[in-house]
Amino acid sequence: MLRGGLVESVHEVCVAAVAADGSVLTATDGAADLPVFLRSAAKPFQAAPAVAAGVLERFGLDDRHLALACASHLATPEHVALAEEMLAAAGLGEDALQCGPGDDGRAVAHMCSGNHALGLAFCVHVGWPTASYLEAGHPLQEAYRVAIAEVAGVTPEEAGDGCGMRAYRVPLGRYAAMFGALGAAGGALGRCAASMRAYPELVRGAGEIDTELMRAEDGLVAKVGAEATIGVGLTDGRGLAVKAKDGSWRGMEPVAVHALRVVFGVAADGPGLARHAAPEVADARGRVVGSVEARVALLR
C-alpha cells in the first residue's frame, strides 16, 4: 500500500495458475505447493453431489437455488427468499439450519445458508438424519469429502469451518486446478458452474470481486474463500488461485485481477472491478491519499 507514493504496508500474496491438464503454468515462488484452506471456495464442489443425486428435480428447485448453494451471499431479500424456498421445498424450517445467525439474527441470512439448505435437502432426499448433518462422520460430510478429493486429485486436510461445515486444505496449485476443472466441467459440476455464471449476483453480490469477474467475462467462474483466497476457472480448463498470506482482501484482490490479465489475457475491466483492481486509500474526508498496487513476480 502506497501513501503519497511512499510504501506504508506490504502484503505477501501467492499466485498459482494451471493449464487445462492441471499442470502448473506459472506461480509465485513456492506458491504451487503452499497449503491453503478453500473455505467457501469449496461450495460449488460440495453442491455437485446433490445435483448428481437429483435433489433439484425432487424438490422443484432451479439454477437460482443452485447458485445460492454455491454462494457466500450478502443476505439481500432475494438471497434470503431463495434459502427459505430451498428449506420449505424439502419440508424443513429455518430451525434446521445450523450455520449460525446472519447479521440480522436469522440463520437464513447467514452467508452460507444456501450451502446448508441444499445439504439438508440432500439429506432429506436420501434419508440421512438432518439433526447431525454437520458432524464430521455424517454421510453428507463424507459425500462432500469424496467430491472434494476427486476434483482436487489429492486427499485434503480438514478442520472446522466458520459455519460448521468442514474446511479443506489443499496445495494452491491444486486449488487452481480445481477451478480449472470447474470452468470446463460437464455433468453435475458443470451445472454448478453454469448456475454461477447465469446468476453471479447470487454467488456473492453486486460490487464483490467474484460476482463482478463473472459479470465482466463470459464463461469465467469465480468464488472467494475466507482469509482472502479466490479461485477462477475458464471454459478451456485453465485455472487460477490466489491467497494473501496475511488474510488481507486489500492485498489479494488487485493481485487476482492483475494475474488474470497477465497470465490468461483476460480483460477483467468491467465497471464493477475498478475498486478491486486498483483500490484507493482515502482519508476521513474522502480525499484520495494513497493506493494499493499489485507487483507480482511469476516463475515459469
With a CB cutoff of 8 Å and minimum separation 6, the contacts of 84 are 94, 108
> How far apart (Å, rounded) are the C-alpha atoms in residues 5 and 80?
43
Per-residue pLDDT, 300: 63
Per-residue pLDDT, 47: 98
Per-residue pLDDT of the chain (300 residues; tens, 9 = 90+): 889 899 999 899 999 999 999 999 999 999 999 999 999 999 999 999 999 999 999 999 999 999 999 999 999 999 999 999 999 999 999 999 999 999 999 999 999 999 999 999 999 999 999 999 999 999 999 999 999 999 999 999 999 999 999 999 999 999 999 999 999 999 999 999 999 999 999 999 999 999 999 999 999 999 999 999 999 999 999 999 999 999 999 999 999 999 999 999 999 998 899 999 888 889 999 999 888 888 877 776
Per-residue pLDDT, 293: 85
Question: Which cell numbers in the block locate residue 93?
Answer: 424450517
How many other CB atoms sit within 10 Å of the CB of residue 8?
Answer: 10
Strands (E), 181-258: 221-225, 229-233, 239-244
pTM of the full structure: 0.95
3-state class of 150 per DSSP? helix
* Residue 94 · residue 62 · CB < 8 Å: no
With a CB cutoff of 8 Å and minimum separation 6, the contacts of 127 are none
Whether CATH 3.30.450 fits 2-291: no
Domain ranges of the chain: 2-291
Per-residue pLDDT, 279: 86
Per-residue pLDDT, 296: 78
DSSP H/E element including 60: none
